[in-house]
């Protein structure tokens, strides 16, 4: 159970009865002005216990127990690929960050002749987005009256992805688990009728187990999860048995709130969501607390926006996505080709690089370290000024590498032109366009 700030304070050195510990009270070594301030930040999960070196062992044990993740981390794996879901600590991304993106799975049935081909296509799908490779996470294989074990084996061989096994029949579940040997799977579902048998299988085959009540009922769900836990299964996933927009949003939000705000350990697990063939519902589940999301079919046109949505929600809002500063060669440039400079905010970099690449024009793109900010933001913050740009030019040896001394700066920072001419004697500073999309035309017109 999470402790309040005052409860935490009572376990810190300022409240200690041991004079050797108490003498450190309010010493500021944790980075906060008082023990009370540190306690408040710990309660809000905006500080780490390790920041205070003077917490007594007994207090540390209590504080660590209370700091245990309110939503358990569940790991699925297959053939070197690992999917981790859970360990979330906040309701809203801007409060801190979301840590583990939900796994996106595609469902195939054991009556589906092309199940293995679909699995192969899912495994092979990857798109690059601002320097990240976005991929799907696994296959959900459903027992639908066909040869379940054979389908699981074929899907496993074709995809090498984590699996979810969908069946309420313990006999089919065991056959599927045997066929999935070597893969850490999620088994769905333990219900009020079969939970003992399913819990036994989950333990025996080291699988995570999804629990599903007869209908959407949080008390029944929490009770079932507790029964399964008491039977020895630690890795539990919740299926609250809702499939529509409104009930899913309400129920998933309630579950998250119960786990995070009320310390309700019985529902402190990731949620399994079924999106059917509705990408909008899948999008809702990505944004609002789905942990494992099953799509009923695979289509690149559907999954691409979902993967991009997920990538955007599950990046740390406090850390801009950056690319490595340095010199990037676009379209095999020669020493006589133009040199442009921009910042290392990845969306800025990819906007410029993509425009250049698709134009076919060769050029050198100097990426200055602007702490991951875009051009105007970095300029306003003093992170993209004449001194930094000149340093980047000199540190990368561009005067020696190129057959000219002309540098194109973004139009948004035209104001830097004079200062740059002073910082880079002998260089000609050209003001380029404000928008990356105008760069190819600018180069064609101005560079010669």
Residues within the interface to ligand SF4 (CB under 6 A)? 12-14, 24-30, 32, 35, 38, 52, 54
Comparing CB distances to ligand SF4, the nearer of 37 and 347 is: 37
| Closest approach of ligand SF4 to the CB of residue 3, in Å | 14
Comparing CB distances to ligand SF4, the nearer of 27 and 150 is: 27
Extract the tokens encoding 158: 């074709």
| Closest approach of ligand SF4 to the CB of residue 165, in Å | 48
| Closest approach of ligand SF4 to the CB of residue 292, in Å | 39
Long-range contacts of 297-305 (CB under 8 A, 24+ apart): 297/106, 297/107, 298/106, 298/118, 298/121, 298/122, 298/125, 298/136, 300/125, 303/104, 303/125, 303/136, 304/127, 304/134, 305/279
Compute the residue count for the chain. Answer: 448
Comparing CB distances to ligand SF4, the nearer of 63 and 281 is: 63
| Closest approach of ligand SF4 to the CB of residue 59, in Å | 11
Comparing CB distances to ligand SF4, the nearer of 13 and 176 is: 13
| Closest approach of ligand SF4 to the CB of residue 4, in Å | 16
Long-range contacts of 213-222 (CB under 8 A, 24+ apart): 213/240, 213/241, 214/241, 215/241, 216/240, 216/241, 216/242, 216/247, 216/251, 218/251, 218/254, 218/255, 218/258, 218/267, 220/192, 221/255, 221/267, 222/264, 222/266, 222/267
| Closest approach of ligand SF4 to the CB of residue 260, in Å | 24
Comparing CB distances to ligand SF4, the nearer of 17 and 319 is: 17
Please list, in sequence order, all residues whose beta carbon lies within 8 angstroms of the beta carbon of residue 168, skipping any fewer than 6 positions away: 189, 191, 193, 194
Comparing CB distances to ligand SF4, the nearer of 13 and 291 is: 13
| Closest approach of ligand SF4 to the CB of residue 54, in Å | 5
Region label for 100, one of left (φ > 0), alpha (ψ between -120 and 50) or beta (otherwise): beta
Task: Tell me whether residue 50 is exposed, middle or buried, using C-beta atoms within 10 angstroms of its C-beta: 0 to 12, 13 to 18, 19 or more.
Answer: exposed
Comparing CB distances to ligand SF4, the nearer of 51 and 77 is: 51
Q: What share of the chain is helix, strand, coil (3-state, %, to 5)?
A: 45, 20, 40
Complete DSSP assignment for 255-300 = HHHHHHHS--GGG-S-BEEEEET-HHHHHHHHHTT-SEEEESS--H
Comparing CB distances to ligand SF4, the nearer of 28 and 261 is: 28
| Closest approach of ligand SF4 to the CB of residue 55, in Å | 7
| Closest approach of ligand SF4 to the CB of residue 248, in Å | 42
Separation between Cα atoms, residue 37 and residue 27, nearest integer Å: 12
Comparing CB distances to ligand SF4, the nearer of 14 and 260 is: 14
């Amino acid at each position: 159970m999470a402790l309040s700030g005052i409860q935490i304070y009572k376990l810190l050195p300022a409240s200690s009865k041991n004079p050797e510990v108490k003498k450190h009270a309010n010493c500021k070594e944790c980075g906060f002005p008082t023990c009370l301030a540190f306690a408040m930040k710990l309660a809000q999960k905006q500080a780490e216990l390790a920041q205070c070196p003077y917490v007594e062992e007994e207090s540390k044990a209590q504080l660590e127990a209370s700091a245990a993740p309110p939503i358990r981390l569940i790991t699925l794996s297959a053939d070197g690929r690992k999917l981790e879901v859970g360990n979330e600590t906040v309701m809203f991304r801007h409060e801190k960050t979301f840590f583990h993106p939900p796994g996106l799975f595609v469902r195939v049935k054991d009556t589906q002749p092309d199940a293995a081909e679909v699995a192969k296509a899912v495994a092979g799908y990857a798109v690059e987005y601002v320097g990240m490779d976005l991929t799907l996470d696994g296959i959900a294989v459903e027992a639908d009256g066909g040869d379940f074990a054979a389908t699981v084996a074929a899907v496993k061989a074709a995809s090498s992805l984590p699996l979810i096994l969908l069946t309420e029949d313990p006999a089919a579940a065991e056959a599927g688990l045997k066929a999935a040997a070597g893969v850490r799977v999620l088994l769905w579902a333990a219900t009020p009728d079969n939970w003992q048998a399913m819990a036994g299988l989950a333990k025996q085959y080291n699988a995570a187990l999804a629990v599903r009540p007869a209908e959407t009922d949080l008390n029944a769900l929490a009770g079932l999860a507790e029964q399964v836990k008491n039977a020895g299964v630690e890795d539990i996933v919740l299926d609250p048995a809702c499939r529509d927009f409104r009930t899913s949003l309400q129920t998933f939000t309630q579950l998250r709130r119960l786990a995070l705000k009320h310390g309700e350990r019985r529902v402190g697990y990731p949620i399994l969501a079924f999106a059917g063939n509705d990408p909008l519902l899948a999008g809702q589940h990505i944004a609002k607390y789905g942990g494992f999301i099953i799509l009923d079919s695979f289509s690149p046109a559907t999954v691409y926006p979902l993967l991009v949505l997920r990538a955007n929600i599950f990046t740390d809002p406090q850390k801009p996505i950056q690319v490595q500063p340095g010199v990037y060669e676009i379209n095999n440039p020669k020493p006589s080709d133009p040199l442009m400079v921009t910042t290392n905010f990845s969306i800025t970099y990819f906007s410029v690089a993509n425009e250049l690449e698709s134009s076919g024009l060769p050029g050198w793109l100097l990426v200055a370290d602007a702490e991951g900010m875009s051009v105007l933001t970095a300029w306003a913050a003093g992170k993209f000024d004449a001194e930094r740009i000149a340093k980047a030019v000199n540190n990368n040896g561009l005067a020696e590498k190129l057959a000219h001394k002309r540098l194109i700066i973004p139009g948004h920072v035209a104001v830097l032109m004079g200062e740059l001419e002073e910082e880079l004697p002998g260089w000609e500073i050209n003001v380029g366009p404000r928008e990356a999309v105008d760069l190819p035309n600018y180069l064609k017109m101005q560079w010669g």
